[in-house]
Amino acid sequence: MKQVTVITDGACLENPGPGGWAALLRFGQHEKMVSGSEAGTTNNRMELMAVIKGLEALKESCDVTLLADSRYVLDGFDKGWLANWKANGWKTAGNKPVKNQDLWEELERQVKRHRIKWVWVRGHNGHEDNERVDVEARKQATALRDARGFTAVDDEV
């Protein structure tokens, strides 16, 4: 199995508001950046989307070291949140609907394709690759905002 490193980040200019995501894929000396944006979204959705799209970009099953600065995403796996939510009919411990269920379900499908080692990195702390994906995610969110000329209030309409 190929060994790949995937570094991800999501950004949101308002929460909710225009958001962006980015994933840097590295295999040996080869790198590929994938990124995108979404209107009327949240930071957590963009963090999830970055991981989903990064894994989706891999054409075959891989051993993946996945670096993310989102405790929300990593805790979903490391702390067993995802398994508990599914066992509870997609309800939280407080019996409320799980936010972003659609993305968690898609992320689970992508995760099943690979062997993943989850690694948390502190955001905005000088980690070169984390800074690169942060810049790209923000660039995507800003480009969307500027292209559409909308504000957070517009996103909710």
Q: What percent of the chain has pLDDT over 90?
A: 87
Which of these, 88, 24, 16, lies nearest to 51 by C-alpha position?
A: 24
pLDDT for 24 beyond 50: yes
Mean confidence (pLDDT) of the chain = 93
Q: Report phi then psi at 126, rounded to 5.
A: 90, 5
pTM to 2 decimal places: 0.92
pLDDT of 151 reads 52
Catalytic residue flag (residue 9)? yes
Q: What is the pLDDT of residues 110-133, one digit of tens each?
A: 999 999 999 999 888 888 999 999
Residues comprising the chain, all counted: 157
Kindly state which CATH superfamily the domain 2-75+114-155 is placed in.
Answer: Ribonuclease H-like superfamily/Ribonuclease H (3.30.420.10)
Catalytic residue flag (residue 69)? yes
Rounded-to-integer distance, Cα 88 and Cα 74, Å: 20
Catalytic residue flag (residue 128)? no
Catalytic residue flag (residue 75)? no
Q: What is the pLDDT of residues 69-125, one digit of tens each?
A: 999 999 999 999 999 999 999 999 899 999 999 999 999 999 999 999 999 998 888
Q: Which listed residue (30, 60, 89, 124) is catalytic?
A: 124
**What separation in angstroms does the CA of 22 have from each of 49, 87, 91, 95?**
8, 31, 29, 32
Q: Which listed residue (17, 20, 54, 69) is catalytic?
A: 69
Catalytic residue flag (residue 124)? yes
